[in-house]
Amino acid sequence: MTDRHHLLVHGGTFAAVGDGGDISGVRSGSSPDGLFVRDARHLSRWQLTVDGAVPEALTPVADGDTARCVLVPRGGRNEPPAYTLFREQAVTDGAFVEALRVTSNRPSPTTVRIALTVDADFTDQFELRSDHRTYAKIGAVRGRQVLDDGVEFSYQRGEWRSCTTVTSEPPPDGVEETGTGARRLVWTLDLEPHASAELALRVAARPHGALKDPEVPASPSAANERILALEGEFADGVPFPTGWPELAAACARGLSDLAVLQVPATGPDGEELRVPAAGVPWFLTLLGRDALLTSLFALPYRPELAAATLPALAATQAVEVGAGAVAQPGKIVHEVRHGELAHFGQVPYGRYYGSVDATPLFLVLLGAYTEQTGDPALARRLEANARAAIGWMLDHGGLTSVGYLVYRADGGGLANQNWKDSPGAICSADGSRPSGPVMAAGAQGYAYDALRRTAHLARTVWGDEVYAALLEQAAGDLRDRFQRDFWMSEHAFPALALDGDGRQVDALASDAGHLLWSGLLDKEYGELVGRRLLEPDFFSGWGVRTLAAGQPAYHPLSYHRGSVWPHDNALITLGLARYGLHDEARTVAHALVDAATVAGHRLPEVLAGYGRETHGEPVPYPHACVRESRSAAAPLALLTAVGGA
For the chain, the domain total comes to 2
> Quick one: pLDDT at residue 250?
98
> Quick one: pLDDT at residue 1?
34
How far lies 327's CA from each of 318, 322, 437, 508, 597, in Å?
6, 5, 16, 31, 42
287, part of any domain: yes
402, part of any domain: yes
pLDDT tens per residue, range 101-129: 999 999 999 999 999 999 999 999 999 98
pLDDT tens per residue, range 321-371: 876 669 999 999 999 999 999 999 999 899 999 999 999 999 999 999 999
Q: How many CB atoms lie within 10 A of CB 238?
A: 17
229, part of any domain: no
Of 518, 515, 519, the C-alpha closest to 532 is: 515
Residue 128 structural domain: 6-224
Where among 181, 196, 224 does a domain terminate? 224
Where among 184, 202, 224 does a domain terminate? 224
Q: Which residues of the chain have pLDDT under 50?
A: 1-2
CATH of the domain at 89: 2.70.98.40
> Quick one: pLDDT at residue 29?
55
Helix (H, G, I), strand (E, B) or coil at 418: coil
601, part of any domain: yes
Distance of alpha carbon 172 from the chain centroid: 38
Same domain? For 392 and 525 the reply is yes
pLDDT tens per residue, range 169-202: 999 999 999 999 999 999 999 999 999 999 999 9
CA–CA dist 95, 92 (Å, integer)? 5
360, part of any domain: yes
Same domain? For 60 and 127 the reply is yes
Same domain? For 513 and 371 the reply is yes
Same domain? For 206 and 319 the reply is no
Same domain? For 257 and 203 the reply is no
pLDDT tens per residue, range 581-620: 999 999 999 999 999 999 999 999 999 999 999 989 999 9
Q: How many CB atoms lie within 10 A of CB 229?
A: 11
What is the percent of the chain with per-residue pLDDT over 90, rounded to a whole number? 91
> Quick one: pLDDT at residue 411?
83
158, part of any domain: yes
The whole model's pTM is what? 0.96
